[in-house]
Every structure is written in structure tokens, then in C-alpha cells.
Amino acid sequence: MSNNANIIKPEEAVTLHGLFLERVKRTPDALAYRYFDTRKEAWLDLNWRQMRDQVARWQAALLREKLAAGDRVAVMLRNCPQWVMFEQAAMLLGLVVVPLYVVDRPDNIAYIVNDAQARVLLLEQDEQWQALSAVAGQMGSIQRFVSLDKVAGNSDARLQCAAEWLPAEAALQPERERRRGDLATIMYTSGTTGKPKGVMLSHHNIVYNAYAGLLTFPVSTDDCMLSFLPLSHAFERTAGYYMPMMAGFAVAYARSIPLLADDLKIIRPTILVAVPRIYERIYNAIHAKLEEVPPLRHKLFTLAVDVGWDRFERQQGRGVWTLKLLLWPVLKHLVADKVMDRLGGRLRLSISGGAALPPKVSRLFIALGLPLVQGYGMTETSPVVSVNRVENNRPSTVGQPLEGIQVRIGAQNALLVKGPCNMLGYWNNPEATAAIMDQDGWLNTGDTVAISDSGHITITGRLKEIIVMSNGEKVPPADMEASIGRDRLFDQVMVHGEGHPALVVLAVVNPEQWQALAQQLGVRADMPESLHDTRVEQAVLDRIAEQIKEFPGFAKVRRVLLLSEPWSIENGLLTPTLKIKRGQVVARFAKDIERLYQGK
């Protein structure tokens, strides 16, 4: 529990712009944001008073656009203070904010802008505009494009550079009435199947979620969070923007994912919020290094993880004391501290959400002394439903529900959620709203679960992603994909078999691991046809079988299609939140899949 008296309560904030104004009033001189200025090649700081003065400029510029309360405005920036400035200025005027992913495809952006009928779109730089200009003509609702940087050779009269659009200075307008039930934002879900849906969230949905989230771990005004997941993702927006604002601690914006390792050492955050992919990257980097060290050092590392895990289990009241726990101080000094130093050396809380965290990954970090807790949520629940507590952490689960959120198990073991964080509904889509939420307010998450006596929720599968084979057997692909993905040969994995008598796997290979396997089997890694060599396929099928031996006998993979080109947002095979678009992958490789089934 947090005993931080500095936390702004929901009844004090009422709305998200009320939250901002309360924070400015309480701690005007406290550090709000740290960011890297590429022009000055330096890290710069902004306090809350400076943020207020900047928000006033953005508000004045938006006022000149003569928008009405309830109008939608879109933001397409990487994480930066201007994201917050623009949103707070908009919300202070009663406007509804629509976040967009900077990595999304232009046609998808045009669809969202049209669906929301957005009037203003804020983007970042020339490269973004060049991509958007191809669809700018389709975005008829937009009266103003604003670019943070200057854009070369522009012919669209609607586009203005922020330096010209913003006044040199301005004062905040008198505050509007704070109404907690008002629509605050429309967040479009990534759409692994079909078009994205606009999730309507009220001010209270998000304010309550941020507050309930803060009650699950102790925070202090001395904390610092490194923000790198996109703010267009509901998890980062609540946990990496509204929670710090509510609790009064600073946020530093990472420069980029490739520079994350450097930024961790520079910023030295105390709190980290990330998706499993980030932890997996660090885990894989550690293991790649381990393969290069002498056997004795490798054994020492393994021992540190084993002893550290036993120590964690004992701290949680689940393990017994053994003699080898006496080794921990030495192992901590020789092994654990070195790994923690690579993460900045000050982390006291790390949260993983957005997808399932592989057990081997959470085990390593927890064992080496990082308090890593897994949570669960979805955009439709603002987003956090549950999270483990540091003092009551069951890493194989997604924790217990936040205060005030009810959960229960419905038909087909689906997790149903009810509470103040459930969305208002889908924008312009009453049919989709009725399909997910009943008249009593219970929202069907579509995830299947088990709930223990202690209230810990374990995700067991996904209703919509069950493969029903032609023999009637049902297979949860996500579980199998996670297991197959433990083999470092595979960077991306998709199990397919809907309506077929057998399962096949489509997998993108890791370039280094593929080189090693090709050499071992005596084939040329640089020849594309080697990926389809029968010796290669058999060796790969053996490796897959080893990873999925825990699954029932009918869940056997008969064929595999190996690919060298990664699935990405650009080639239309991943959503902006990096989920596989199963339908698109199947369509793209339809002929290859057909060949696999004809072959056997």
C-alpha cells in the first residue's frame, strides 16, 4: 500500500485536466519531465509551472481553431512533453483526444481519423508527413495538421509548423466545469482481426484506474520512471503518464528502444513499466553473453539464479530455509548486482503487462533481485484489471484485482470484469459494445482464466484464438507459440490449423541462430531454398516437438514453413502493439500453407 500523502485523490482531480491543474498547484517547482533535446544534444528538465505555461500556449492555438467541446483531436507523436502539453490543452477545452501510433500504416491512420472525425492532427516531423501526405486527401475532417518540426515542400494548406501555429506566450483560460463522466479519449484497439474499434473512456474511467493502481505499490516523490512504451498504448498512458502525475514523481522519456540500455544507465529509474518483449530482449542479451564466458562463470550465474529464486520463494512465505541461502550475499555481489547495474542500479519496482511474461524470463529477473510484478488489463478497462503486489507476488499469475474492480468467471471460463474502469462503449459501434458488455455492466474480456482462493487470476487461454481442428480438437495457439518461442532459433512464431486435421507452424528465424543450424546441417544459410530443405525441416520439427512435449498428443506439429523476412507493422503482418495479424499472415502465405498440407 502507498502511504504517500502527495497522491491526488479521484475526488480532488475529478477529471484528467483537473489532475494536471491539481499537480501544478501542489508542486509547481517539482521536476515533471526529463527529455533529450536533439538540437541541443542534451537532456533537459521541465517543472510543473513550466508545463502549465506551455499548455497555455497550446490551448490558445487550439482556441483559434474554433472547435466545440466534444470535438476530436488526434496526436501522433513519439513520447515527449509536447504529447502531454497538447492533450492537456485539448482536455482543458473539453476536446476528446485520439492517440495514434507513429509506426502505424497511413491507410490505418486515415481510417481512424475518418471514423473519429478528428479536426486537428498533431504530428512530429517531415518523414511522418511524407507518409501521411499520400492519404491526406482522404482525411476530409481535418482542418489543421500541425507538425512539431518544419516540413519541406508542403502543398497542403492545412499543414502548419508548431512554431508558427503556437503564440509566443499565453495565459490559461478559466477552467471549465469538471465533469467526471465526460468522454476524455477514444483509443483505437489494434485490430488483429478486422478494422480497429474506438474505445470510449471517460475521465473517471482513467482517473479511478490510475488511483487504484497506485494503491498497489508504495511510491514517493523521489521516484523516477523511464517512459518508452508508446503513449498511444493504454498501459503506458495510465501507468507512465497519469499515475506519475497523480503521485508527483518525474517521468524521463527514453530516446528510442535501440538506445534503451544507455538511457537506463543515464536516467537510473526507480520504476520501469514494460511489455514482455522488452524483458525478453534483455534476457536474450544476457544469455547470448553467457555462451561466451568460461564454464565456471556460467555455473556461477546459474547458481545465483537458483539461490535467488529460493530466496524469493522464502520471502513470499512459500519456501523453506536451506544452507545454500547463505551463499546469497556473495552471489549478489558477483552476479546479481552486475545485472541490476545494467538496468541503472536503482530499480525498486518493475511492472510487466500487455501480454504474457514467459516464466523463465520473470524467474531470472526476480531471482536476481528485481521486484518484477505481472499485471493484466485491456484498453476497454482503462486498462488495468489486476496486478501482483510485491509482497504477495505469484509470478505465474496476473495478480489480484484492483480495489473496486469485481471479477468473476463466466461461460467457457471467460473472465468477466465490472467496475468504474469499464469503458463507455465502442465509438459508433453499438453492436460491438453489446457483444462485449451485458446490460448489468459485466465486460467479457475474451480471456479464459482460473481464479485461486487468494484471488490471484491465472490466464489459461483466449476464447477467440482457439484453433478448432477438423477432427474437433481444440488448441490454444498462444500457449503453443510461447513454448515454441523458447527456442532461440525462432524470432516469430504462428501456429495454424483451423479446419485442418493437423497443425503447421510458420516461423521467422533468428539470423544468427539460422547461420549456426545451417552450418551444422551442411546447407548454405544464404540460399533462400535452404529454409525448405527436408533435412532442415526435420531438424526444426524435432526442436519444436521438444518445446511442446507438455501438450496433448493431438497437438503435434506436422510441418513447418521457415521464413527469413520478419513480420512487421510496415508489411501489414503486425498490429501497432506488435500482435500478429493471424488472418493477414495466413492470406500472405496461403499458397505455402496449402503446399504444406498437400505434402503431408
Sheet holding 250-253, edge to edge: 42-47, 31-37, 250-253, 224-227, 271-274, 349-352, 372-377, 384-387, 400-401
* pLDDT at res. 345: 96
**How far is residue 137's CA from residue 158's CA, in Å, rounded to a whole number?**
11
Residue 122 reports pLDDT greater than 80: yes
- Could you give the residue ranges of the DSSP H alpha helices within 42-133? 48-64, 81-92, 106-116, 126-133
Helix and strand numbers (H, E) in the chain are 22, 26
**Omega prior to 383 cis, within 30 of 0:** yes
CA separation for the pair 90, 96 (Å, rounded): 7
pLDDT at 195: 79
Binned at pLDDT 50, 70 and 90, residue 600 comes out as: low
Question: Does the pLDDT value for residue 192 go beyond 60?
Answer: no
Greater confidence (467 vs 174) lies with 174
Please give the Cα distance from 269 to 351 (Å, whole number). 13
pLDDT in tens, 145-190: 999 999 987 789 999 999 999 999 999 999 999 999 999 999 998 6
What is the pLDDT averaged over residues 365-392? Answer: 97
H or E segment at 202? strand 198-202
Number of residues assigned to the chain: 600
Mean of pLDDT values over 403-426: 97
Q: 14-40 pLDDT, tens per residue? A: 999 999 999 999 999 999 999 999 999
* pLDDT score recorded for residue 194: 63
Confidence label for 242 from pLDDT (cuts 50, 70 and 90): very high
Q: How confident is the model at residue 1 (pLDDT cuts 50, 70, 90)?
A: very low
Give the number of other Cβ atoms within 10 Å of residue 150's Cβ: 12
Closest CA to 442 of 413, 406, 419, 418: 418
Q: What is the spatial distance between Cα 255 and Cα 38, in angstroms, rounded to a whole number?
A: 9
Mean pLDDT, to the nearest integer, of 532-543?
A: 96
pTM of the full structure: 0.86
How much of the chain, in percent, has pLDDT values that exceed 70?
Answer: 98
Task: Please name which of 119, 145, 117 lies closest in space to residue 131, comparing C-alpha atoms.
Answer: 145
Name the amino acid, one letter, at 439: Q
Domain definitions of the chain by residue range: 12-178+233-253, 466-599
Classify 559 as helix, strand or coil.
strand
> CATH assignment of 466-599, given 2.40.50.140, 2.120.10.10, 3.10.20.30, 3.30.300.30?
3.30.300.30
Within 8 A by CB and 6+ apart from 355, the residues are 275, 276, 277, 579
User: Which residues touch 189 (CB under 8 Å, ≥6 apart)?
Assistant: 196, 197, 199, 379, 380
Grid cell in block for residue 358: 514467459
- Residues 315-339: tens digit of each pLDDT: 999 999 999 999 999 999 999 999 9
Q: Quick one: pLDDT at residue 553? A: 73
Task: Return the pLDDT at 500.
Answer: 83
What pLDDT digit, counting tens, does each position of 475-488 carry? 878 888 988 999 99
pLDDT at 105: 85
Check pLDDT > 60 for residue 490: yes
Helix (H), strand (E) at residue 161: strand 159-161
Closest CA to 510 of 285, 353, 294, 352: 285
Question: Dihedrals φ, ψ of 211, to 5°?
Answer: -65, -45
Can you give the pLDDT at residue 467? 84
Q: State the sign of the Cα–Cα–Cα–Cα dihedral 412, 418, 421, 425.
A: positive
Residue 523 C-beta-side C-alpha neighbours within 13 Å: 19
Candidates 66, 65, 102; CA nearest to 83 is 102
Query: What band does 579 get if pLDDT is binned at 50, 70 and 90?
Result: confident
Stronger pLDDT, 72 or 192, i.e. the higher one: 72
Model confidence over 354-376: pLDDT tens digits? 878 889 999 999 999 999 999 99
Question: What pLDDT, on a 0 to 100 scale, did the predictor assign at position 193?
Answer: 53
CATH architecture of 12-178+233-253: 3-Layer(aba) Sandwich (3.40)
- 392 alpha carbon, distance to own chain's centre: 23
Question: What string of DSSP letters covers 356-394?
Answer: PPPHHHHHHHHHTT--EEEEEE-GGGSSEEEE-BTTB--
Average pLDDT for 92-104: 95
CA separation for the pair 256, 266 (Å, rounded): 13
Pairing of the two strands 144-147 and 372-377: unpaired
Residue range 256-294, pLDDT digits in tens: 989 999 999 999 999 999 988 889 889 988 988 998 999
| pLDDT score recorded for residue 354 | 82
